[in-house]
């Protein structure tokens, strides 16, 4: 069996499902434009750090937006940031995998909030650090599935050893960003969340 | 050359993409690769071809290294090492090298398919095509791309203001320089979020989401699209038929089995279709008669 083909097919089908559900959601214009802005910020932040390999605040920004606005929102920010920034940086077979990895990063950020309402700087830092490794592991996975044969533990290890230093750079970069800016950015985003959400008071109460 | 309809091209590149993934016969992959390279050159985009190739070289090299290291199969041994902790003995075989080379070709193939798609279609047309079915998604995406451009101007503006206020961005000390840049980050962050709310309000004021969306223009299906759909259909039939015949596969391990005659004949059929596609592209670019007809 060709695992490269199977993995790509599963990925494409799941993306279609996610995007269809996004289309069907009754999402407000303000949320759409917030997703767009956060994705743009996350996407654009890949550029200035391009000189240092694999260090970019994108992962951290995606996690934070997922943390504040919820898992679904985080996933969309991650996915759209990748799609939009790759318009400039170059689309390729890596695009869907980056979308998946960053989308999941945002999603997990939303789940983190369910367990930790008020995370410390260190916790955010460690969470982002782990995502530095996880992100590259997801990216390597396709590489391993589609281009390496046989699919054994040994070939798996060799594939991952090769990219260890890049992964480490990513993770350390993430940790730094999350440790230094995490709290500030969460506060800013929470304020915006409060601004776009409102609760309707039933008519009887006003009378 | 006239750009193709996005749907035609999506189908065509999808078929090529899955062909490149499914087959592991070097000749099959080579013919797909040659087809794409020739078409890109015919379109006059050699420069982009080069930059995309550069992207791929690193990953291709990685594949070439990993495969022989990870794969211990194969009869023709080139090098044998002593025992290494965790990994164990390493032996590099000719077959594994050949397999790695084949996979590297595959990678280039896949990379270039993406470029090929971009060259054969118009980006705006792709957008409007998708906006018909997924308008929220395309709206989000086009807003994002718009904001990315605006952010650049915004950064310059904020930087100018900060310089006027006496912030030194050319600080030698890295720590101090980072401290100087940090406020920019925050200002941009808040300003762009603020801007997004304004944008949402202006969308709302223009009646977004209050009914079916109208469109200024429609992407038309041209004659060339029908021709390419024909090619798509025949190619797809061949791929499915080939799947049942089980062609396009070569055994690399334990020894390279060589090329089967049946597979080579099947490849000729596929190549004929690809050559027709190349001729079509060439005709649309150079042949005046065809250009006006299409």
In CATH, what number is assigned to the domain containing residue A173? 1.10.1760.20
Would you tell me how many other CB atoms lie within 10 Å of the CB of residue A194?
9
Preceding amide of B210 cis, omega within 30:
no
Angle at A185 between CA A64 and CA A114, to 5 degrees: 40
> Is the model's pLDDT at B151 over the cut of 70?
yes
Looking at chain B, the number of H-run helices and the number of E-run strands are 10, 2
> Lowest mean pLDDT: which of A178-182, B85-89, B99-103, B152-156?
B85-89
Does a structural domain hold residue B192? yes
Specify whether B107 is located in the same domain as B243.
Answer: yes
Specify whether B31 is located in the same domain as B175.
Answer: no
Split into its structural domains, chain A has a count of 1
Average pLDDT, chain B: 86
Cβ-based contacts of A33 with chain B (< 8 Å): 143, 196-197, 199-200, 203
Specify whether B234 is located in the same domain as B186.
Answer: no
The confidence score (pLDDT) of residue A136 equals 87
Give the closest of B66, B145, B252 to A87, CB-based.
Answer: B145
The confidence score (pLDDT) of residue B248 equals 81
* CB-based contact, A148 to chain B, within 8 Å: yes
Residues paired with residue B88 on neighbouring β-strands, in sequence order = B84
Does a structural domain hold residue B183? yes
The confidence score (pLDDT) of residue B261 equals 85
Kindly identify which residue of chain B lies nearest to residue A30, measuring between CA atoms: B200
> Is the model's pLDDT at B283 over the cut of 80?
yes
> Is the model's pLDDT at A79 over the cut of 90?
yes
pLDDT band, residue A69 (cuts 50/70/90): very high
Residues paired with residue B84 on neighbouring β-strands, in sequence order = B88
> Is the model's pLDDT at A38 over the cut of 80?
yes
Specify whether B81 is located in the same domain as B117.
Answer: yes
Give the closest of A4, A84, A196 to B21, CB-based.
Answer: A4
> Lowest mean pLDDT: which of A59-68, A121-130, B253-262?
B253-262
> Is the model's pLDDT at B123 over the cut of 60?
yes
Q: How far apart are CA A8 and CA A161, in angstroms?
A: 24
Distance from CA of A22 to the nearest CA of B (A): 8
> Is the model's pLDDT at A135 over the cut of 60?
yes
Closest listed residue to residue B104, CA positions, set B65, B143, B148: B65
Taking residues B274-294, report their average pLDDT: 87
Taking residues B134-138, report their average pLDDT: 86
Question: Are the C-beta atoms of A159 and A140 separated by less than 8 Å?
Answer: yes
From start to end of B72-174, where are the E strands?
Answer: 77-84, 88-93
Taking residues B85-109, report their average pLDDT: 83
B137: helix, strand or coil: helix
- Greater confidence (A97 vs A47) lies with A97
Does a structural domain hold residue B137? no
> Is the model's pLDDT at B93 over the cut of 70?
yes
The confidence score (pLDDT) of residue A206 equals 72
b/e code B41-61 from CB counts within 10 Å (16+ = b):
ebbebeebbeebeebbeebbe
Does a structural domain hold residue B140? no
Specify whether B187 is located in the same domain as B236.
Answer: no
B121: helix, strand or coil: strand
> Is the model's pLDDT at B41 over the cut of 90?
yes
Taking residues B252-264, report their average pLDDT: 78
CB contact under 8 A, B192 and A40: yes
Taking residues B99-116, report their average pLDDT: 91
Does a structural domain hold residue B267? yes
Residue B85 is classified by DSSP as T
Taking residues B51-73, report their average pLDDT: 83
> Is the model's pLDDT at A125 over the cut of 90?
yes
Taking residues B205-209, report their average pLDDT: 84
Nearest 10 degrees: Cα torsion A26, A31, A36, A41: -150
Specify whether B177 is located in the same domain as B271.
Answer: no
Size of chain A, expressed as the number of residues it contains: 207
Instruction: Return all residues near A133 (Cβ < 8 A) that are at least 6 apart.
Output: A167, A168, A170, A171
> Is the model's pLDDT at A1 over the cut of 70?
no
Best to test chain A binding among B109, B112, B144 (most A CBs inside 10 Å):
B144
What domain range is A187 assigned to? 3-206
Split into its structural domains, chain B has a count of 2
Distance from CA of A36 to the nearest CA of B (A): 5
Specify whether B51 is located in the same domain as B194.
Answer: no
Give the closest of A8, A22, A195 to B137, CB-based.
Answer: A22
* CB-based contact, A27 to chain B, within 8 Å: yes
List, for residues B231-254, the tens digit of each pLDDT value. 999 999 999 998 888 888 877 777
Specify whether B201 is located in the same domain as B235.
Answer: no
Cβ-based contacts of B127 with chain A (< 8 Å): none
Distance from CA of A154 to the nearest CA of B (A): 6
ipTM of the complex: 0.85
A:B CB pairs within 8 Å: 158
What domain range is B178 assigned to? 148-205
């Amino acid at each position: 069996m060709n695992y490269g083909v199977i993995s790509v097919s599963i990925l494409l089908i799941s993306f279609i499902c996610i995007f269809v559900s996004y289309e069907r959601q009754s999402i407000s214009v303000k949320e759409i434009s917030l997703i767009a802005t956060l994705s743009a910020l996350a996407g654009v932040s890949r550029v200035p750090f391009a000189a240092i390999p694999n260090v970019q605040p994108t992962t951290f920004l995606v996690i934070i937006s997922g943390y504040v606005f919820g898992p679904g929102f985080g996933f969309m920010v991650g996915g759209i940031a990748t799609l939009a920034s790759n318009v400039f940086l170059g689309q390729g077979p890596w695009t869907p995998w980056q979308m998946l990895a960053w989308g999941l990063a945002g999603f997990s950020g939303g789940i983190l909030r369910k367990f930790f309402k008020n995370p410390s700087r260190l916790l955010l830092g460690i969470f982002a650090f782990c995502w530095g490794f996880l992100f590259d592991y997801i990216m390597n996975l396709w590489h391993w599935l589609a281009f390496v044969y046989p699919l054994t533990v040994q070939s798996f290890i060799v594939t991952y050893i090769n990219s260890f230093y890049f992964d480490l750079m990513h993770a350390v970069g993430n940790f730094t960003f999350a440790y230094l800016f995490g709290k500030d950015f969460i506060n800013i985003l929470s304020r915006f969340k409060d601004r776009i959400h409102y609760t309707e008071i039933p008519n009887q109460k006003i009378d | 050359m006239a750009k193709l309809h996005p749907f035609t091209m999506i189908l065509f590149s999808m078929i090529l993409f899955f062909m490149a993934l499914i087959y592991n016969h070097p000749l099959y992959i080579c013919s797909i690769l040659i087809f794409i390279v020739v078409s890109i050159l015919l379109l006059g985009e050699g420069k982009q071809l080069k930059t995309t190739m550069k992207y791929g070289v690193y990953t291709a090299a990685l594949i070439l290294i990993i495969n022989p290291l990870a794969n211990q199969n194969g009869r023709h041994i080139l090098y044998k090492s002593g025992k290494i902790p965790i990994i164990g003995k390493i032996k590099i075989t000719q077959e594994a090298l050949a397999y790695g080379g084949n996979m590297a070709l595959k990678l280039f193939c896949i990379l270039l398919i993406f470029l090929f798609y971009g060259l054969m279609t118009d980006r705006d047309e792709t957008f409007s095509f998708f906006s018909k079915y997924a308008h929220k998604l395309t709206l989000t995406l086009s807003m994002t791309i718009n904001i990315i451009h605006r952010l650049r101007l915004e950064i310059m503006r904020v930087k100018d203001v900060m310089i006027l206020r006496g912030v030194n961005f050319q600080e030698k000390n890295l720590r101090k320089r980072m401290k100087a840049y940090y406020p920019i980050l925050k200002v941009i962050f808040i300003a762009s979020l603020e801007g997004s709310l304004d944008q949402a309000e202006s969308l709302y004021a223009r009646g977004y989401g209050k009914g079916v969306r109208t469109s200024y223009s429609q992407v038309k299906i041209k004659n060339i699209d029908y021709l390419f759909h024909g090619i798509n259909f025949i190619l797809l039939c061949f791929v499915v038929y080939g799947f049942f015949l089980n062609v396009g596969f070569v055994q690399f391990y334990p020894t390279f089995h060589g090329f089967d005659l049946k597979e080579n004949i099947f490849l000729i059929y596929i190549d004929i279709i690809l050559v027709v596609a190349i001729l079509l592209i060439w005709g649309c670019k150079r042949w005046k008669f065809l250009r006006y007809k299409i």
